[in-house]
Chain A
Amino acid sequence: MPLIAITDVKKRFGDNEVLKGITLDIEPGEVIAIIGKSGSGKSTLLRCINGLESIDDGSILVGGVHLSPEESALKALRLKVGMIFQQFNLFPHLSAGGNVMLSPMVVKKAAKAPTAELAKKMLERVGLGHKFDAFPDQLSGGQQQRVAIARALAMEPMALLCDEITSALDPELVAEVLAVVKSLAGEGMTLVMVTHEMRFAREVCDRVVFMHQGRVHEIGPPEEVFANPKTPELQQFLGVAAA
């Protein structure tokens, strides 16, 4: 059974239909890259899976449970699926450790001492065990994004959604974040990432989804999609990306 089952999902912003019927099944442990031009609906799809945007039609099942707009259902969903954002969105008034600890303590009502332990472990996992007490504005962009990953991991999600998580980073900081993502993939975490890092997608992902004008235009294993693009749109997109 797929971990995330997306069936004929449609999403409209006013007159603009951003998603025109997306169907996609994601198996547990799969690493999926979603590529495509800006405006093709990649980020919207990701935000729909997490319930940050409501869908107009179709269905999304996560772990066999329907995504519905009720608050309680959304909360249950978000315990299963973590999300990492382009702009990190760390809580600036809390230290790195505080950022990681907040949600387990507030949402799962975990006690402070074991949560601090957990936070320490999660920060070590992203290579930032020594930055427990640092505040977000004392960290580099790459470090902030790694704290954001640790923060999501602390909720022990079944899948992580990554929305262009390296796009706001200086080029020299991209590698450290991708290394963390790669290690997560190696540990069997289910990952759905919207990305512009084609080389990374080719290296790490099981399947690549090319989105074009609100539809899944082409889908397949990276060697196939990158080496042998079937549609002119993908050929053009890859040509542009390579150039």
Chain B
Amino acid sequence: MTEFTLWDIVRNLLLAARWTILLSLVAFVCGGIFGMVVLFLRTGRSQALRHIARGYIELFQGTPLLMQLFLCFFGLALVGLNVSPWVAASVALTLWTAAFLAEIWRGCVEAIAKGQWEASSSLGMGYVQQMRYVVLPQALRIALAPTVGFSVQVVKGTAVTSIIGFVELSKAGTVVTNATFQPFTVYGVVALIYFALCWPLSKASQTIERRLNAAHRHH
């Protein structure tokens, strides 16, 4: 029987962690872009679109990520689309991230004083122009800290994709455990790697929050 050193374990887990990072990035970037679209629908002038966006957000916030993942993976297969675990994981995490980010950002948009909307309206701006030039630049400063904070949830959320066979950090942990029979060591290292990924993000969120709340506001 082969002996595994700690370094063997760590090395293999680190290699798998690349996929966790990549999946997190894809989910966060694509989810951010799609979340922005949902935000515009959610806060826009059309009542029908507002309802659709709200329904979308409530659906994805009200069901477990795991179910969303299953539905993406097996549901798409049912309609004849054979998707790889990687695609299913990316799609599910993107949709999930978009729902949460849209809701976080909606709160930030609504925190902007009504007078800003009225003043920009009275200057002849349309909804998209108001968002682009008046509301979002102000909402951004409030949104930054919770958005970065949410990225921690995305990183941890990627662990769920191990269920459908996508080999990221958690799945690699299982694989390595099965080979080494050292579950405590392996999952300990897995946890440490997750922590190493998430902790700087939490810290960054706190720093941003403190800096933006400081007396100096622009310039």
A: residues with CB less than 8 A from B are 50-52, 71, 74-75, 78-79, 81-83, 85, 87, 89-93, 102-103, 106-107, 135, 137, 148, 151-152, 155
Contact A107 B123, beta carbon cutoff 8 Å = yes
Q: Which residues of B contact A137 (CB under 8 A)?
A: 217
Can you name the residue of chain A whose Cβ is closest to the Cβ of B217?
A: A137
* B191 surroundings in chain A (CB, below 8 A): none
B133:A106 contact, CB within 8 angstroms: yes
Asked if B134 lies at the interface with its beta carbon under 8 angstroms from chain A, I say: yes
Pairwise interchain contact B116-A91, C-beta atoms closer than 8 A: yes
Please, which residues of chain A bring their CB within 8 A of the CB of B64? none
Other A-B pairs, 20, CB within 8 Å; known A50-B122, A52-B118, A107-B129: A51-B121, A52-B121, A75-B124, A78-B122, A83-B118, A83-B119, A85-B115, A85-B119, A89-B113, A89-B115, A90-B119, A91-B116, A91-B119, A92-B138, A92-B217, A102-B123, A106-B129, A106-B133, A135-B219, A152-B122
B124 / chain A contacts, CB cutoff of 8 Å:
75, 78-79, 103, 107, 155
Is the beta-carbon distance between B137 and A71 smaller than 8 angstroms?
no
Cβ–Cβ contact B115 & A93, under 8 A: no
Number of interface residues of B (CB under 8 A): 21
Chain A contacts for B116, CB-based, 8 A: 89, 91
Q: How far is the CB of B177 from chain A (nearest CB, A)?
A: 52
Q: Give every chain B residue within 8 A of A51 (Cβ-Cβ).
A: 121
B136-194: which have CB < 8 Å to A? 137-138
Choice from A75, A79, A89 contacting B118 with Cβ under 8 Å: A89
Kindly identify which residue among B123, B134, B137 contacts A78, using a CB–CB cutoff of 8 Å. B123
Residues on the B chain within 8 Å of A93, using CB: 137-138, 218
Q: List 12 A-B contacts (CB under 8 A).
A: A71-B45, A75-B126, A78-B124, A79-B124, A81-B122, A82-B123, A83-B122, A85-B119, A103-B120, A107-B123, A107-B125, A155-B124
B45, B115, B119, B217: residue with the most chain A Cβ atoms closer than 10 Å: B119
Give min CB distance, B183 to chain A, whole Å.
52
Q: Which of B115, B122, B133 has the most chain A CB atoms inside 10 A of its CB?
A: B122
Report B129 CB to chain A, min CB distance, Å: 5
Can you name the residue of chain B whose Cβ is closest to the Cβ of A87? Answer: B115
Q: In the bound complex, do residue B119 and residue A89 qualify as a contact, i.e. CB atoms below 8 Å apart? A: yes
Could you tell me which B residues sit within 8 Å of A by CB distance?
A: 45, 113, 115-116, 118-126, 129, 133-134, 137-138, 217-219
**Contact across chains for A52 and B122 when beta carbons are under 8 A apart:** yes
User: Which residues of A sit under 8 angstroms from B137, Cβ to Cβ?
Assistant: 93
Residue of A71, A79, A89 with most partner-chain B CB within 10 A: A89
A135 touches B218 (CB 8 A): yes
Contacts of B138 in A (CB 8 A): 91-93
Q: How distant is the Cα of A135 from the Cα of B45 in the complex, in angstroms?
A: 30
Whether the pair B115, A155 counts as a contact (CB closer than 8 A) is no
B181 to chain A, nearest CB (A): 59
In the A-B complex, list the 10 residue pairs whose CB atoms are closest, starting with the nearest.
A89-B119, A89-B115, A103-B123, A83-B122, A78-B124, A107-B124, A93-B137, A79-B124, A106-B129, A87-B115
Q: Which of B122, B129, B134 contacts A91 (CB 8 A)?
A: B134
CB–CB B219/A78 < 8 A: no
Q: How far is the CA of A75 from the CA of B133 in the complex (A)?
A: 17
Residue among B113, B116, B124 with most chain A CB within 10 A:
B124
CB atoms of B119 and A102 under 8 A apart: no
List of A residues within 8 angstroms of B219 by Cβ: 135
Q: How far is the CB of B218 from chain A (nearest CB, A)?
A: 6
Q: How far is the CA of A51 from the CA of B123 in the complex (A)?
A: 12
Q: Specify which chain B residues have a CB less than 8 angstroms from the CB of A155 in the assembled complex.
A: 123-124
Q: A103 to chain B: which residues have CB within 8 Å?
A: 120, 123-125
What is the CA–CA distance of A85 and B121 in the complex, to the nearest angstrom?
12
Residue of B nearest to A93 (CB): B137
Find chain B residues with CB under 8 A from A83 CB: 118-119, 122
Q: Which residues of B contact A107 (CB under 8 A)?
A: 123-125, 129
Residues of chain B within 8 A (CB-CB) of A106 are: 125, 129, 133
Chain B residue contacts of A89, Cβ below 8 A: 113, 115-116, 118-119
User: Who on chain B is nearest to A148 by CB?
Assistant: B119
> With the chains together, A44 CA to B101 CA distance in Å?
36
